[in-house]
């Protein structure tokens, strides 16, 4: 415990607390803070004063949110936030709540601002130092209806916009700051620099949050938690389970056994790639179970995407459990839980509508009476990739695009057969090969092919064909919450389509999906 405590103290001696008031982009605040080398956590605004005090943050950021401070039951900032006498930055609703509680005035505005806007900087401030100067006009991203109309005692205005006379405010003496815009989003070009000013120059953080230091701490934690007991980990071929497995193996060696369930719906060459990497390069004990026949049999004639997901999830648990029992028992189950999963489990806004269920192994601990080891639960996806690189995991694994647990089953928009899976693997392989050859893979968040539930008439040579149609999809994104279509040039798409129809027998038409998210989702099912 001493080693863990010493490492944790060293790594977390500088930390920022983010209080969440329900904004859709609160996670982006944490990402920006982490990117500047400062550890931070997101807690709901309902967090108790004692908990906030014991966390001992060097600064607090108040997120935006959908509420209006004029509402009777609107969220309030905990009293301890101001009693700690540490720097506080309020963003959007956070600014309004701070003004409302400290003696200012907020009201609904006839001039609402949503989207791109401009702030005129009218005074110098520690928040803007080295980023914006007095007299400049800067682009920002606004999303507000209410606005501050009277400042609390001690505050001054440092920036205005067309719809917000107090778009930036500061009480330099108490180190309290507020912005009506969202510095955490990419649409505010210098927003990350403003946040770094707050965390480094105002709150006094130096930026010692690195993946190397995190790795050392987590290895010590795993050893302390597991002792001499055994751990099993379900490998999916994805980034999260791969990084978790390598990290745990570095901590406890052959006390870890990985189970790789091949459900028959992975991409071309993926099964061999996973086995080769983990048994060859990392020498991790691995059990590979080919359960493709079982999965295909259970999925016969199933077309509903939710039924597909639930069937695959259930079978995965059953097969995993069978293999785990053969090992003679283990005390711990490793899972690749990420920080967004932790945050969403305590969301201030409650449960959202289920767009589609997610494939995971969340039901295993109750059934198997095992404790969880979750070494990635403090990390965002991009940090998981960085950790993987720190441990030497090949780029073809840590840098690969997100891939759904049900695999190609939800990219075949009809019933699942072995022939359709083989067809889609060939299409997908050609598409990704061309993307990599063009040097575009890392510029794209996710790219894949979908086999459509239609056949179309075509002409090949002198004959008529009646074959499958497929759709290609490629998007750019920061976190998968929203996504834009990747703008391939027509020459690229023409080349890919030509290769597919010429090399994949059974396909005669290729389309490109140009739908953003929202209104569409990234996957089709």
Task: Give 474-494 as a DSSP string.
Answer: EEE-SSSSSBEE----HHHHH
CA gap 466, 204 in Å, rounded: 67
- From the list 92, 128, 233, 258, the catalytic residue is 92
Contacts of residue 270, Cβ cutoff 8 Å, sequence gap at least 6: 237
Assess whether 100 carries a catalytic annotation.
no
From first to last of its 525 residues, the chain has per-residue pLDDT tens of: 556 655 566 556 789 999 999 888 888 899 899 999 999 999 999 999 999 999 999 999 999 988 888 888 889 999 899 999 999 999 999 999 999 999 998 887 655 556 788 999 999 999 999 999 999 999 998 876 688 889 999 999 999 988 788 999 999 999 999 999 999 988 899 999 999 999 999 999 999 888 998 999 999 999 999 999 999 998 887 889 899 999 999 999 999 999 999 999 999 998 998 898 888 888 999 999 999 999 999 999 999 999 999 999 899 889 988 888 888 878 899 988 888 777 766 655 443 333 334 434 444 556 667 888 999 988 888 899 999 999 999 888 898 898 888 999 999 999 999 999 999 999 999 999 999 999 999 999 999 999 999 999 887 766 777 889 999 999 998 767 678 999 999 999 999 999 999 999 999 999 999 999 888 889 998
- From the list 113, 128, 144, 182, the catalytic residue is 182
Residue appearing with tokens 């550890």:
39
In this structure, are strands 15-20 and 463-476 parallel, antiparallel, or unpaired? unpaired
3-state secondary structure of 456: strand
Structure tokens belonging to residue 258: 């990985």
The percent helix, strand, coil of the chain (3-state, each to 5) is 35, 25, 40
CA gap 62, 5 in Å, rounded: 29
Assess whether 92 carries a catalytic annotation.
yes
Assess whether 233 carries a catalytic annotation.
no
DSSP state of 279: I
- Cβ pair 496, 430 in contact under 8 A: yes
Query: How would you class 415 by CB atoms within 10 Å of its CB: exposed for 0-12, middle for 13-18, buried for 19 or more?
Result: middle
- From the list 14, 113, 184, 383, the catalytic residue is 184
């Amino acid at each position: 415990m001493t080693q863990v405590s010493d490492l944790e103290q060293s790594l977390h001696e500088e930390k920022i607390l983010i209080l969440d008031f329900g904004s859709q982009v609160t996670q982006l605040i944490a990402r920006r803070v982490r990117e500047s080398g400062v550890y931070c956590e997101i807690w709901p605004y309902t967090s108790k004063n004692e908990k906030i005090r014991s966390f001992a943050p060097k600064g607090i950021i108040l997120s935006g949110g959908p509420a209006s401070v004029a509402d009777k039951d609107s969220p309030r900032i905990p009293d301890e936030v101001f009693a700690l006498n540490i720097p506080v930055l309020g963003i959007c609703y956070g600014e309004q709540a701070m003004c409302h509680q400290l003696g200012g005035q907020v009201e609904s505005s006839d001039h609402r601002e949503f989207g791109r806007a401009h702030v005129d900087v009218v005074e110098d401030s520690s928040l803007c130092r080295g980023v914006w100067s007095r007299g400049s006009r800067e682009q920002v991203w606004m999303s507000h209806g209410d606005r501050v109309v009277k400042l609390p005692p001690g505050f001054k205005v440092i920036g205005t916009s067309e719809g917000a006379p107090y778009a930036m405010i500061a009480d330099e003496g108490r180190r309290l700051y507020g912005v009506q815009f969202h510095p955490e989003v990419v649409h505010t070009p210098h927003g990350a620099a403003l946040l770094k000013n707050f965390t480094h120059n105002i709150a006094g953080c130096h930026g010692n949050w690195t993946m190397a230091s995190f790795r050392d701490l987590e290895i010590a934690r795993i050893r302390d938690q597991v002792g001499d007991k055994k751990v099993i980990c379900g490998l999916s071929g994805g980034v999260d389970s791969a990084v978790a497995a390598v990290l745990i193996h570095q901590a406890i060696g052959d006390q870890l056994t990985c189970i790789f369930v091949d459900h028959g719906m992975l991409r071309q060459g993926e099964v061999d790639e996973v086995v080769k990497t983990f048994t060859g390069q990392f020498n991790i004990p691995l059990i590979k179970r080919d359960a493709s026949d079982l999965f295909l049999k259970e999925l016969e004639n199933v077309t509903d995407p939710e039924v597909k997901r639930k069937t695959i999830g259930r079978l995965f648990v059953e097969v995993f459990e069978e293999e785990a029992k053969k090992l003679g028992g283990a005390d711990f189950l490793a899972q690749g839980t990420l920080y967004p999963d932790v945050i969403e489990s305590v969301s201030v806004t409650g449960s959202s509508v289920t767009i589609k269920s997610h494939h995971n192994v969340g039901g295993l601990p109750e059934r198997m009476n095992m404790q969880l080891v979750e070494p990635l639960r403090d990390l965002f996806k991009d940090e998981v990739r960085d950790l993987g690189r720190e441990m030497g995991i090949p780029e073809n694994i840590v840098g690969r695009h997100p891939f759904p647990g049900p695999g190609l089953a939800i990219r075949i928009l009809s019933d699942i057969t072995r022939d359709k899976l083989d067809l889609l693997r060939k299409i997908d392989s050609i598409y990704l090969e061309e993307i990599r050859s063009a040097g575009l893979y890392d510029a794209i968040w996710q790219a894949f092919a979908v086999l459509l539930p239609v056949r179309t008439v075509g002409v090949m040579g002198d004959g008529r064909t009646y074959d499958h149609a497929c759709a290609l999809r490629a998007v750019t994104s920061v976190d998968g919450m929203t996504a834009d279509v990747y703008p391939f040039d027509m020459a690229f798409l023409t080349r890919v389509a030509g290769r597919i129809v010429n090399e994949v027998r059974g396909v005669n038409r290729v389309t490109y999906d140009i739908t953003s998210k929202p209104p569409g989702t990234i996957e089709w099912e």
